[in-house]
Structure 1
Amino acid sequence: MKRITMIGDVGWSRFYHLGDEAMTELAIEALQRRGDISITLIAGQPQHASEMYGVDAISRIGFKRDREPNITRMERILEFAESEGRSRTLTPNDPARTVIETVRDSDAVLIAGGGNLNSMFAHHIYERVTLGRLAKLFKRPYALTSQTLGPLIYDEDRKLVYEFLADAEFVGSRESYTTTFAKQVGGKRAVVRRQVDDAFSLTAQDEDREAVDDLTAEPFILASYAEKASSPVLADSAYHAHLVDITRRLADETGLKVLLVPHAGGLPPALPTRDQLTNDQIAGEVGRESVTSTRMLTARELIALTEKAEFVVGTRYHAGIFAGAAAVPFISLVPNLYSSIRMRGAAENVGMEQFVLPVDSVDDVVATGVGVAKNRAEFHAALTDSSARRRAEHDDWWDFVVAHTVGDGSGETPSASSVPAPDFFHADEVENRFDSAAAANRARLSAIEEFGLLLAKRDRQLAVARKQAKDAAAALEVSNARHERQDGMLAVKAARKVRGWQRKLKRGVRRGAKAVGKRFTEAPLRRNLEARAPARRRGRA
């Protein structure tokens, strides 16, 4: 039996991020389908993750958002691993101990899909880099699948990411931006392969379709919205207003029901959160019976629901992934830099890049939605071929993943030629003839990316400068305090010397006075005695 250690951003009992869970779920399924492979999943809450996915699970190493403590923690973990536990740099109950043992006992390490190699999430970078270094220490191959790199990689993180990518067996990139960026950041040593998002091949089962039957009684639009804009140029209030406007107009102008489906929330019995709360608010403000907020669904249940939709619209990235896989037309709405890069890449994979629009282009979004609803069969036919070819290609991708991590079954060490990486075909672009300002919207998306990167780098520079100023002020305060203490000590010493001198002076004065007094008192007495001496002698005679 081969053993793989896998990390995914999954496994929380009170929070279910549908896209992340879908990528990890597909990775587990794809591995187990290809041989006798035992998987240990590094997850948020191991017991919950183990019950959900039917595999062994352990806790994360645990890193924070601050880099300096993370660097120290990573060094201690590696020192402990290198010394085989003799260094005592980790406490007995440190979860990193279990991770070290698991990686050492594995045949390979797999970094499941996501956009975690991003300086906005420094703790994720350190978690994954540490796993890579442990794998390298124990001479175990590690690989990354279904990744978005960056788009923000700050200077202080670049070296870490460079080494991590360069030492990996391969990096699976889910969009052209990452393919290019990974080669830049990872240098010539990085082996970057293009693929679709891993959630693309996750499928619904009969029980999943039965679970959403109550939502599919009449034709509907499936809408999935992130709870906030996460943009430096678009306020959350304006973003929310655009979503309300788009939803109301789509319902009114298409005559279709609109289901607001969360991608981030709490599966029962967990309390509603994030997208669920936003969807309830949007439904209330739209004020139409045809617009309803649904319960939180599992990834497979949402796939089953997507298959029945007239079309999909939203600011959630995986809404487009599920739609493209099901050959359902979709419109992706961009509020920020990160969304633009991922959504354009996902849409490009199936030819739908012209259907990625800025979220504030409300008129063009609604016109596109109305046009897609009227011509659904045309778009479905165009997507069917792309979807089928991508699924076959993705199946070959996972053959490649297994061959280059745990081997291809020959018993030989994996090599670059054992199973070649699958080709990645270029999907024909589908025309969006309903967008009245297509060129302008393309330019605006590029501007969102360029301006977003510029602002993010500026904000980082300001943050670094503020920290440096704060550190300098603290150092100055310490220095001043030290000087004050030194000055105080000098003053104390001087005072002590003065007091010493005063004591010496007083002693000298007393001795002098005593000597003088003795001189003045002894002389008359001596003269008096000498004068009386003859009389005393005559009396004795």
Structure 2
Amino acid sequence: MSKKIVLIDAFSTIHVGNGALLDNSFKIASQRFKTNDISVITSDPETNKGRYENIIEDVFSNYPRSNFSKLIWATLFFINFSLFFIYQKLGIPQRLWILGARYRKIANAIAESDIVISISGESINDHLAPQMYMRCYLFYLCIKLGKDFYVFPQSIGPIFRSTSKKALKFFLSKAKTIFCRDMDSFRLSQEIWKGEPVDVVYCPDVAVTQDSVKDESLAIFNCGKKVVGITLSDVPNEIAGSAGYYEKMVKSICQSLNSDEHCILMMPSNYKRTGTSRDYEICTRAYQEFLAQNFEVEILQNKAIHPDHYQGIQKSLFLFISSRMHVGILATSAAVPTIMLNTQHKIRGYMKNISMEDFVIEYDEIESRLPALVARCMEPTQHSETRSKLYSKNQEMRHMVMKIVGAT
């Protein structure tokens, strides 16, 4: 009998990286458990309608901003899911459940499932508390209800509160498997769940298995020059040393490229359904500055773009420079020479996995190292060797992910 799966913590696909997690987690879960009976609980149902058959809106999609509203919201969260647990344990029919509309749909999907999988990428993180505690409470209820619970490859941590470590040990000790996508997360998870029945396993990010078709439809690809794709982004609040990084990036790239030979495609990777994201605003500013330096420049439209389309565009690039991890993974997985700014430790961890750590720069190295790395990537022999190396490493990563997760 085919198993029913629920993918939870699918964040908004208007962030390309979250789309890559969803697309590839869905594919891998389908192959691993030999079923297409998969429901997706996502904070972005509109973007994913038509792409997946069973879409359910996550309650976290309307998480409030003010502290008082958060307190009320959290109280309702714990009440609704605690009631759901009691209903299930007492065998109360679903038609008699008194739950909020969104909670009821999620509860129904979990109740009818055999397997629940968290695919967020990074929800187990003290910077994301108190949401982390609420999500982990739901994980715990799923386990107590007899569901096979998995944490698909994620960055676990940073966890800097001793109470968080104790809570995580309690909530997830009886999960089936926690897959960690970087070595820091793996070591932390081994420490937290040491001696517990849950399997803690190292596994590369699922985005390395992304598939796509090359897309050369943008006008920039007809200019007769080498196209350099660039993703610049808003910096997470917890990242130190990032002041002035944007200006340094633009200045160094302008100094490294020749407008007669190179053109630029700005590739924001984080969007909004209405309005303009901070990432898109930053990329628009860079677009204007590159124009002022006489470069031919194009910017992606301000609308959601799915990871297969995004990677398809990347396949036509000569070089990609990124401050976001997952679009960097998509580029390297497409064998495009890629330079990554280490905005978070997980970026260096991924690039080390594919033996490309030399192509990672820190904030304080932008001016000193970026020009030399760009020149290195542009050199014909080095460029060809890098493409071959990336192709080989991606095949290795793909095989590793599918084998570890059990999808082969």
Give the TM-score category using the shorter length: 0.7 to 0.9
Residue 265 of structure 1 pairs with residue 268 of structure 2: no
1:316 aligned to 2:314?
no
The SS at the match of 2:150 is strand
Tell me the CA shift for residue 253 of structure 1.
Answer: 8.3
1:119 aligned residue? 126
* Higher relative contact order, structure no. (Cα contacts within 8 Å, ≥ 6 residues apart): 2
Q: Which amino acid aligns with 2:306?
A: T
Deviation at 1:390, TM superposition (A): 1.3
> Match of 1:308, SS?
coil
Task: Identify the residue that residue 241 of structure 2 maps to in structure 1.
Answer: 234
- Tell me which residue corresponds to 1:250: 256
Match of 1:198 in 2: 206
Between the aligned partners of 1:187 and 1:117, the Cα distance in structure 2 is 17
TM value normalised by structure 2? 0.85
SS in 2 for 1:129: helix
Per-residue CA deviation, residues 234-281 of structure 1 (Å, 9 max, x unaligned), is 364x122112212312333894212110110146xx443222111111
Matched with 1:28 is: 26
Q: Which residue of 2 aligns with 1:358?
A: 362
Counterpart residue number, 1:108: 115
Please name the residue that 1:458 is paired with: none
Does 1:162 find its partner at 2:190?
no
Q: Which amino acid aligns with 1:81?
A: F
Q: Where does 1:70-469 land on structure 2 (aligned, <5 Å)?
A: 72-73=75-76, 75-84=78-87, 92-189=99-196, 190-205=198-213, 209=215, 212-217=217-222, 218-228=225-235, 230=237, 233-234=240-241, 236=243, 238-252=244-258, 255-266=261-272, 270-286=274-290, 287-288=292-293, 289-296=295-302, 297-335=305-343, 339=344, 341-361=345-365, 362-374=367-379, 375-399=382-406
Q: Distance in 2 between matches of 1:248 and 1:396?
A: 43
Work out whether residues 153 and 181 of structure 2, in 8 Å CA contact, stay in contact via their aligned partners in 1: yes
2:259 and 2:359 mapped to 1: Cα distance? 19
**CA 1:254–1:168 in 2, change beyond 3 Å: closer, same or farther?**
farther
User: Which of the pair has more CA radius of gyration?
Assistant: 1
Instruction: Please give the alpha-carbon distance, in whole angstroms, between the structure 1 residues aligned to 2:323 and 2:121.
Output: 17
What CA deviation, in whole Å up to 9, does each residue of 1:175-217 have, x standing for no partner? Answer: 11111111112233241212221111111136xx26x443433
Please give the alpha-carbon distance, in whole angstroms, between the structure 2 residues aligned to 1:116 and 1:64.
17
Count of matched residue positions in the alignment of Structure 1 and Structure 2: 385
Q: State how far apart, in whole Å, the 2-side matches of 1:199 and 1:32 are.
A: 15
Contact 1:8 1:24 (8 Å CA) reproduced: no
Change (3 A) 1:50 1:334: closer
Kept in 1, the 8 Å contact 2:331–2:338? The answer is yes
* Separation (CA, whole Å) in 2 of partners of 1:377 and 1:97: 54
- The amino acid of 2:58's aligned partner reads R
Give secondary structure in 2 for the equivalent of 1:368: helix
| Aligned alpha-carbon RMSD (Å) | 2.8
Task: Check the 8 A contact 1:50/1:56 in 2, yes or no.
Answer: no
Query: Structure 1 residue 56: deviation in Å?
Result: 1.2
- State the AA in 2 paired with 1:381: S
1:92 Cα offset (Å):
4.0
Say if 2:153 and 2:206, in contact at 8 Å, map to a contact too: yes
Question: Going by fraction, where is helix more abundant, 1 or 2?
Answer: 1
Distance 2:311 2:49 in 1: 21
Structure-1 separation of matches of 2:358 and 2:252: 18
User: Which runs of 5 or more structure 1 residues have no equivalent in the other structure?
Assistant: 401-421, 423-541
SS of the equivalent of 1:360 reads: helix
Cα distance between partner residues in 2 of 1:254 and 1:385: 32
TM-score of the superposed pair, with normalisation by structure 1: 0.65
| Corresponding position of 1:2 | 3
Q: AA paired with 2:53?
A: V
Q: How far, CA to CA, are the matches of 1:179 and 1:203 in structure 2?
A: 27
Measure the CA separation in 1 of the matches of 2:48 and 2:58: 14
User: How many Å apart are 1:301 and its aligned residue?
Assistant: 1.5
Residue segments in structure 2 that go unaligned for 5+ positions in a row: none
Structure 2 Cα separation of the partners of residues 202 and 95 of structure 1: 31
SS of the equivalent of 1:259 reads: strand
Identity %: 17
Letter in 2 for 1:32: S
